[in-house]
């Protein structure tokens, strides 16, 4: 959708959400922050625990990325309150998001497709800080809308975690604070979500877990990099079960 034919629907007390997924193009994001200063911003990628509706069940295949399921479930659950969805559809997200944007349009959502495939690579002090790993991920994800960062100290990495924010964020709590974050989350902090070279970076001297959501195309990268760097390849569908947690804990204990 081009800027010339973009629609800007009116907000109301009942319709007060700007929804998004991934990392919308910053210029478009900032424009909507200015247009809707009182709006609540909701990241549709996140698992808020909403039940899957019959409409979503009819749209989404059973063998499907959990993050994409979250997008549909959250969107339909919040439909009456959503002003617009900002929808990255390029290399900064994935093909599934490209399809999702069109499907949601056909179901009556106001959707603005965005692409954020260029940009100047910035610094990544949160990824290399001594913050707890879950806090690293949550801080970077929140910074997409609000550029507020806590004061941090840098640390030498004992472990690494590569990937996107997992649907089950509790697995990040198993890692020590001196774990560096790699992969797409580092690209987000650097302001270049489509930077494949940065996404494929990992420190060869740091034992690293390479994670992807089951049914996500990033499994190809995760498995390749895990073999390249002698790391642990891990794919999880929804929530980590005890065997997955045991595998992680053994890796952290033995490496």
Q: What is the mean pLDDT of residues 90-114?
A: 97
Q: Cα 30 to chain center, whole Å?
A: 19
State the Cα–Cα distance between residues 215 and 12, nearest whole angstrom: 38
Question: What whole-number percentage of the chain has pLDDT above 70?
Answer: 97
pLDDT category at 2 given cuts 50, 70, 90 is: very low
In degrees and rounded to multiples of 5, residue 135 shows phi and psi of -65, -35
State the Cα–Cα distance between residues 177 and 131, nearest whole angstrom: 6
pLDDT for residue 5: 59
User: Does 3-114 carry CATH code 3.30.200.20?
Assistant: no
Q: What is the pTM of this model?
A: 0.92
pLDDT in tens, 176-216: 999 999 999 999 999 999 999 999 999 999 999 999 999 99
Whether residue 7 has pLDDT greater than 80? no
Residue range(s) of every CATH 3.40.50.11890 domain in the chain? 3-114
């Amino acid at each position: 959708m081009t800027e010339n034919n973009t629609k800007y629907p009116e907000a109301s007390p009942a319709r007060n959400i700007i929804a998004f997924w991934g990392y919308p193009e910053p210029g478009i994001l900032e424009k909507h922050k200015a247009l809707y200063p009182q709006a609540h911003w909701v990241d549709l990628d996140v698992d808020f625990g909403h039940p899957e509706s019959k409409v979503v069940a009819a749209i989404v295949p059973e063998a499907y990325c959990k993050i994409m399921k979250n997008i549909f479930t959250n969107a339909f659950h919040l439909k009456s309150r959503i002003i617009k969805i900002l929808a990255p559809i390029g290399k900064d997200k994935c093909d599934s998001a490209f399809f999702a944007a069109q499907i949601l349009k056909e179901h009556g959502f106001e959707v603005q497709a965005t692409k954020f495939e260029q940009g100047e690579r910035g610094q990544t002090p949160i990824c290399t800080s001594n913050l707890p790993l879950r806090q690293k991920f949550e801080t970077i994800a929140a910074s997409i809308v609000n550029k507020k960062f806590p004061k941090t100290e840098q640390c030498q990495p004992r472990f690494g975690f590569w990937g996107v924010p997992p649907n089950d964020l509790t697995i990040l709590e198993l890692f020590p604070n001196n774990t560096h974050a790699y992969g797409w989350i580092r690209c987000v902090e650097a302001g270049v979500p489509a930077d494949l070279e940065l996404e494929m970076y990992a420190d060869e001297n740091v034992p690293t877990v390479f994670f992807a959501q089951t049914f996500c195309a990033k499994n190809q990268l995760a498995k390749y990099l895990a073999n390249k760097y002698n790391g642990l390849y891990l794919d999880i569908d929804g929530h980590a079960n005890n065997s997955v947690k045991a595998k992680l804990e053994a890796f952290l204990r033995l490496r």
